Amino acid sequence: MCGIVGYIGDKKAPPLLIDALKKLEYRGYDSSGVGIVVPGDGNIVLRKAHGKIQNLQNLLRSKPFPDSSLGISHTRWATHGVPNKVNAHPHRDCTGKILIVHNGIIENYESLKAALQKKGHKFVSDTDTEVIAHLIESHYKKDLLAAVQKTIKQLKGAFALGVICSDHPDTLIAARIGSPLIIGLGKNENFIASDVPAILEHTRKVIYLKDGQMAKLSKDNVEVFTFAGKSVKPKIDKVTFSLDAVQKQGYAHFMLKEMHEQSDVLKQMVQKRIKGNTFHLEELSTLDKELKNITNIIIVACGTAYHAGLVGKYVIEALSGIPVTVDVSSEFRYRNPIVGKKTLVMAVSQSGETADTLAAIKEAKAKGAKIVSICNVIGSSIARESDGVLYTHAGPEIGVASTKAYTAQLCMFYLIAAKLGVVRGVVAKKDIDNVIQALKHIPALYKKMLKTKNAIARVARSNAHFGCFLFLGRNVNYPSAMEGALKLKEISYIPAEGYAAGEMKHGPIALIDEYRAVVCIAPESDTYEKMISNIQEIRSRKGKVIAIATEGDEAIKKHATHVLYVPKTHKLLTPLLVALPLQLIAYYISVKRGCDVDQPRNLAKSVTVE
Ligand code: AGP
């Protein structure tokens, strides 16, 4: 999510704004900028840079700010318009006197932009945000607060705003609905920020602006109003958290925070794309003709994204009848793959920057394939290289171990599989509808599962001493077994292997003794009885079994050492649910072992090298 900081006071604004932005880096971003009002000459000075804040600081070495005590700054997580300097905030109006920073999405920006352009406004960026600056300009008659109030009435969507104007060197305006914004109260200085970490070194006295509220700040006064202009007496809170805790919003680790965000991430995906009994994937609508004629699909990805692709294979074949193969990108790109003009290649990548996956789609493109990618980072290299891109909008994923991005990828595959199924028409529409209707309930089931995390923690901690884990699954949960193993090994450094349960007799069963723990993914399915047999084979050789089963399954308790339950759902959707206990098992074992959960040794969040 974007980060906003504003300052008005006695200190020098530019260095303070940049330092404060750095405290918001954890929110994830792809560009940054600072804008100030120069006292006396009434000028606005703006400095912006693509990439890390360091790039902005490097720019300031050659183009330093003049002194100023009023400014706004921003770290941008792109939603509309690729990450670059032009699209970075702050944005300004035609006169250059009004400057704004924004966090959120303006849903009606296109119509507003068209109307403003008709009136002669000139836009320089592809962002939704820039519309706000021009709207304020169109209402501005010297009263900045009134102009912002009029503007807000026209905006649809979520926004947190910071606004300054060169005519008002003693005023900073803030407003919010749907995106967080706080006010920091200092001595002869006041602040606005997206989150507490940005201002914690300056003040612990904060006002958490509520939705539908705006504020007018001077260096020694803060007035809060409703959007209708009614004065409000705000509650002043005292921040007691440490800086580190606040960035994680009270969670012990980013990974834990992001596991908890999965319900909301899935909810926004489902609500945005499933309306009643219909669902839509606009991003693929231009490819309808091609999708009708493709003969096969190849999914390329790495790591967790590869496991999402393996689940994608099962669900796409089940709902559309199109043959799917899945390849790790580093293998695909070097095996001279057989790719034709009727092959659809799908890349899956949270970062959109994984070098092997980027190279894989370039190779496929050169062979004539159409490329569709599933990415989380807007405007990333893989997204830009693709013919179509489906963004998961899971928000920045800070923990190196992918959690919410993975389940968002799975959710996207169910939607793609349904879309292909409808386009191809080889599977009964009601079967597709059953999956889609079941998908709508998944976010609520996540909230329900999270209530069982203490039980999962107990089981994880009581098995944290094992030196080796096996994860077993069948059919659509074979990839879940691989993902569970990857989660555990990458954050706890315990050797762990994910296997197709049917392969036990072909080798892995030799591993089983009282020193092994085996996680068996055994929800209700056509292969449930086979999983019970696997569990019995393991237990008869003294292996410990942690079973993941469907709520209400009492029988499995006779066989497994521990049983963790997931709610009942469509059998194709169980990978979405079992992902959470698998993530939490890895998390609690890693914490028990004192490992660095968010930054595991040797790993990077995005493998941009081969
Ligand atoms: C997953 O927990 C790992 N961090 C890693 O396997 C990751 O999934 C892989 O590097 C792919 O990254 P991407 O999704 O950004 O392409």
* pLDDT, position 317: 97
pLDDT classification of 289: cutoffs 50, 70, 90: confident
Instruction: Tell the residue nearest (CA) to atom 4 of ligand 1.
Output: 401
> How close is the Cα of 25 to the center of ligand 1, in Å?
20
> How close is the Cα of 490 to the center of ligand 1, in Å?
11
* 347-358 pLDDT tens trace: 999 988 888 999
Which has more confidence, 407 or 24? 407
* 356-378 pLDDT tens trace: 999 999 999 999 899 999 999 87
Q: Of all atoms in ligand 1, which is nearest to the CA of residue 304? A: 8
> How close is the Cα of 307 to the center of ligand 1, in Å?
10
Query: What CATH number matches the domain at 452-610, 3.50.50.60, 3.40.50.300, 3.40.50.1000, 3.40.50.10490?
Result: 3.40.50.10490
Mean pLDDT of 525-535: 96
* pLDDT, position 381: 81
* Residue 605 appears among annotated catalytic residues: yes
> How close is the Cα of 333 to the center of ligand 1, in Å?
17
Confidence check: pLDDT of 157 > 90: no
Instruction: Tell the residue nearest (CA) to atom 6 of ligand 1.
Output: 303
User: From CA 2, how far away is CA 83, in angstroms rounded?
Assistant: 12
* pLDDT, position 278: 83
* 371-402 pLDDT tens trace: 999 999 877 789 888 999 999 989 888 899 99
* pLDDT, position 34: 97
* 426-474 pLDDT tens trace: 899 999 999 999 999 999 999 999 999 999 999 999 999 999 999 999 9
Domain boundaries, the chain: 3-239, 248-449, 452-610
Instruction: Tell the residue nearest (CA) to atom 7 of ligand 1.
Output: 303
Q: Of all atoms in ligand 1, which is nearest to the CA of residue 604? A: 4
* pLDDT, position 42: 78
Q: Nearest 5°: phi and psi at 500?
A: -70, 125
Q: Nearest 5°: phi and psi at 106?
A: -95, 105
> Average per-residue pLDDT in the chain?
93
Taking CA atoms, 247 is separated from 20, 99, 195, 239, in Å, by 13, 27, 8, 13
Q: Which of 326, 276, 333 is nearest to 303 (CA)?
A: 326
Mean pLDDT of 256-277: 92
Tell me if 248-449 shares its fold with 452-610. yes
User: From CA 399, how far away is CA 590, in angstroms rounded?
Assistant: 13
Q: Which of 573, 509, 569 is nearest to 545 (CA)?
A: 509
pLDDT classification of 178: cutoffs 50, 70, 90: confident
Mean pLDDT of 109-122: 96
* 54-67 pLDDT tens trace: 999 999 999 999 99
User: Helix, strand or coil for residue 545?
Assistant: strand
Element (H, E) at 382: helix 381-385
* Residue 595 appears among annotated catalytic residues: no
User: From CA 234, how far away is CA 180, in angstroms rounded?
Assistant: 15
For a pLDDT cut of 70, what percent of the chain falls above it?
A: 98
Confidence check: pLDDT of 76 > 80: yes
Structure token digits, residue 451:
């209530």
> How close is the Cα of 348 to the center of ligand 1, in Å?
10
Q: Which residues contact 554 (CB under 8 A, 6 or more apart)?
A: none
* pLDDT, position 245: 64
Decide if 165 contacts 144 (C-beta within 8 A): yes
* 315-336 pLDDT tens trace: 999 999 999 999 999 999 999 9
Q: Of all atoms in ligand 1, which is nearest to the CA of residue 409? A: 14
Q: Nearest 5°: phi and psi at 325?
A: -115, 155
Structure token digits, residue 230:
């009614």
* 553-572 pLDDT tens trace: 999 999 999 999 999 999 99
> How close is the Cα of 166 to the center of ligand 1, in Å?
45
> Ligand 1, from 300, 328, 354: best to mutate by most atoms within 8 Å of Cβ?
354
Which has more confidence, 80 or 155? 155
> Ligand 1, from 300, 346, 351, 413: best to mutate by most atoms within 8 Å of Cβ?
351
Q: Using a 6 Å CB cutoff, which residues line ligand 1?
A: 302-305, 349-351, 354, 357, 400-402, 490, 606-607
Q: Of all atoms in ligand 1, which is nearest to the CA of residue 382? A: 16
Which range has the worst mean pLDDT, 231-240, 493-502, 559-568? 231-240
* pLDDT, position 386: 93
> How close is the Cα of 362 to the center of ligand 1, in Å?
19
- Cα torsion at 116, 118, 121, 126 (round to 10°)? 70
Q: Residues 23, 216, 487, 605: which is the catalytic one? A: 605
Please tell us whether the domain made up of 248-449 is placed in CATH 3.30.420.40.
no
Instruction: Tell the residue nearest (CA) to atom 3 of ligand 1.
Output: 401
* pLDDT, position 288: 79
Per-position DSSP letters for 222-265, written without gaps between them? EEEEETT--EE-PPPEE--S-HHHHHTTT-SSHHHHHHHHHHHH
Q: Which of 403, 398, 377, 407 is nearest to 27 (CA)?
A: 398
* pLDDT, position 331: 96
Taking CA atoms, 291 is separated from 319, 326, 456, in Å, by 14, 18, 42
Taking CA atoms, 12 is separated from 20, 37, 68, 69, 189, in Å, by 13, 11, 6, 5, 11
Q: Which of 399, 385, 362, 401 is nearest to 490 (CA)?
A: 401
User: From CA 365, how far away is CA 387, in angstroms rounded?
Assistant: 9
pLDDT classification of 241: cutoffs 50, 70, 90: low
Decide if 215 contacts 175 (C-beta within 8 A): yes
The CATH class of the 3-239 domain is alpha beta
